[in-house]
Structure 1
Amino acid sequence: MGHVRAFAVTVLALAALGVPAGLAWSLLAPRAPYAIVNGRPVLADPSTQALIAADGWFAVVTGGIGLVCAVVAWNLARDRRLEVLLGLAAGGAAAAFVAQWAGTTFTLAPVTVEAAAAVPGVKVVAGALVLTARGVLVAWPLLAVGLYGTMEAVVAYRESPLRRPYGEIEGL
């Protein structure tokens, strides 16, 4: 039963961290400018980098939190290493989706709009925060699992009897 609990606690803890991660993304990411033309929003500045920057900020925020989660999880895992590793993968994926939802639902940053191609008489507004590159959703679980596995591999290598060739005895 302890195996399932270690997995479930890891998944739930990470999923809960998705809300503050999404709010941080909402605070940091820029919004793309949209012009209201015939009652419909149209991208006001086709050369804007705001959409790419929003995706980048999502990857930075969630990837950074994923790295921190890996270090904390590795230090707390003790004898439940595999369950915690699987929890990092599943919880990181769930947390990324929660972060996307929280970031697109709540706007924390003051929204300002600057459009290089603004036409006089056309209303330019800030668009909603969206994630256009869906691939950045894997930043959290990928970096968390990668760092966790790296730390585990380093410790396993240090403790391996294969590291001491020719039957060397420790302490001599």
Structure 2
Amino acid sequence: MTREVRAFAITVLALAALGLPAGLLWSALSPRPPYRVFEQTPALADPSTQALIAADGWFATITGGLGLACGALAWFLSRRVQLPVLLGLCLGGAAGALAAWWIGTTVTVGVVTVEASAFPGVTFVPGPLDLTAKGVLVSWPMLAVGLFGFLEGMHGYRESPLRKPHPPTGDGAPPPG
């Protein structure tokens, strides 16, 4: 029992800790939407900006890639305690994604550029980094668990006795079943 609890706890804590560098990487790579400040009031300069979608895309790419890497590594390392590790991938992936979201929205890493104002009296500032599609938060746990299940299914199929054909009978009829 202690082996299972330890495997679950290590998986959850490792994935949650990976959320911190993932959030910093997301903050460094994602563009910030430009906001214009006019009379002390910030407003989104271009409501059709692609920066909002790009931030979601970068988050899904980073956390999805980590999910695939964690799922494959967990499958290769967890031959004896698969269920606790699988549950740890789900919970730890969700915790890592939430940690990446929190760090990415809190800490600004990298160069943030905003184009110059064309109108006098209007200044542009970089907007905050945030997710507009909250569904990308599940990309890490979903891909980790999915790849783990796929690899286990392929391994189980390869080792399955159902894969081996029945020995032929002398009369050409299928074996009794």
Fold conserved between structures, TM > 0.5: yes
- Give the CA deviation at 1:59: 0.2
> What's the secondary structure of 1:93's corresponding residue?
helix
2:100 equivalent to 1:99: yes
Determine the structure 2 residue equivalent to 1:138.
138
Determine the structure 2 residue equivalent to 1:114.
115
> What's the secondary structure of 1:36's corresponding residue?
strand
Amino acid at match of 1:153: G
> What's the secondary structure of 1:165's corresponding residue?
coil
Cα distance in 1, alignment partners of residues 118 and 153 from structure 2:
54
Task: Specify every segment of 5 or more residues in structure 1 that has no aligned partner in the other structure, as ranges.
Answer: none
- Give the CA deviation at 1:118: 5.2
Amino acid at match of 2:32: R
Determine the structure 2 residue equivalent to 1:75.
76
Contact residue 63 and residue 139 of structure 2 kept, 8 A: yes
Determine the structure 1 residue equivalent to 2:153.
153
Q: Larger C-alpha radius of gyration, 1 or 2?
A: 2
Task: Specify every segment of 5 or more residues in structure 2 that has no aligned partner in the other structure, as ranges.
Answer: 169-177
Moved over 4 A (4+): none
Amino acid at match of 1:125: V
Cα distance in 2, alignment partners of residues 36 and 79 from structure 1:
58
TM-score if structure 1 supplies the norm length?
0.93
Determine the structure 2 residue equivalent to 1:18.
19
Cα distance in 1, alignment partners of residues 47 and 24 from structure 2:
27
Equivalent residues, number: 167
Cα distance in 1, alignment partners of residues 115 and 64 from structure 2:
29
Determine the structure 1 residue equivalent to 2:42.
41
> What's the secondary structure of 1:79's corresponding residue?
coil
Contact residue 38 and residue 121 of structure 2 kept, 8 A: no
> What's the secondary structure of 2:90's corresponding residue?
helix
- Give the CA deviation at 1:114: 3.0
Cα distance in 2, alignment partners of residues 86 and 167 from structure 1:
40
- Give the CA deviation at 1:37: 2.5
